[in-house]
Amino acid sequence: MIESRPRGGAAAVPSVAVGNARLRFGDTLLFEALDFELAAGSWTCLLGSSGVGKSSLLRLVAGLARHEPPTRVSASDGQPLAGRIAYMAQQDLLLPWLTALDNVLLGTRLRGQPVTINKVAEARRLLDDVGLGGRDGLRPAALSGGMRQRVALARTLMEDRPVVLMDEPFSAVDALTRIRLQDLAARLLAGRTVLLVTHDPLEALRLGSRVHVMSGFPATIGPALIPPGPPPRPVGDPAVLELQAALLQSFTA
């Protein structure tokens, strides 16, 4: 399979900085004066237990949550982030009435861009890349959970955005499928600025160039852990396993 680098070219991939972020959920202060950075062209993983506010932080970057002052979200090239992010969630968010192919083409249609032969061919190729060649006419109901998440990955790639935000995208599938999907995503999204939010230390350590732990109320973000070796790292990698053990211990302590 081919690595699918952003067609815009590596120069167009910015880093993203979140500065002085503050967010409340109802009356609870989730975090305050929070600084966080996504390095350009690599995977940053944000690890934390559920409810700590990591998804909220991702939504803040995605422009899906309202910015509370004095929160700043900016790209290193000074251009606005809107229109340059792709979003992948824990649910596949496939539309049940559309075929796999039409689901991949959803963004094109939503923006009112013409669905040209080239676009269709590209969507087919991306479905091929995620291992679903020949299944583009099937509706989501006819696909397994893992296959649906593959379609969602193809849809994310079709958006061809330099910044990709993923909110526990592989947590709803079984362990084996999860590892295959992680490998696939690592290969296909290489070269983009990726934020992966997860509660699975192994996932973060396999995929992240930098791994941050988010914890506490209000939440703070720890310093970057930098696992050795290029992602995706093997499941049995001693360094990965050692770091995983240390992380789990620090969580349960």
Residues found near another protein in the complex (CB under 8 A): 59, 62-64, 82-83, 85-87, 89, 91, 93, 95-97, 106-107, 109-112, 139-141, 159, 165
Distance CA 65, CA 48 (A): 19
Q: How far is the CB of 141 from another protein (least distance, A)?
A: 6
In the bound state with another protein, the residue whose beta carbon lies nearer, of 64 and 235, is 64
CA torsion, ordered 26, 197, 249, 231, to nearest 10 deg: -170
Place of tokens 């969507």: 123
The torsion angles phi and psi of 106, rounded to 5 degrees, stand at -55, -45
Q: How far is the CB of 31 from another protein (least distance, A)?
A: 20
Q: How far is the CB of 6 from another protein (least distance, A)?
A: 16
Distance CA 202, CA 234 (A): 10
Return the number of other C-beta atoms located less than 10 Å from residue 203's C-beta. Answer: 24
Angle between helices 145-159 and 117-129 (to 10 degrees): 130
The answer to whether the beta carbons of residues 36 and 60 sit under 8 Å apart is no
CA torsion, ordered 15, 173, 136, 166, to nearest 10 deg: -10
Q: How far is the CB of 218 from another protein (least distance, A)?
A: 24
Query: In angstroms, what CA-CA distances link 221 with 10, 25, 52, 180, 213?
Result: 28, 18, 11, 29, 6
Tokens of 187: 């290969």
Note the helical H segments in 63-194: 100-104, 106-110, 117-129, 145-159, 175-188
In the bound state with another protein, the residue whose beta carbon lies nearer, of 17 and 89, is 89
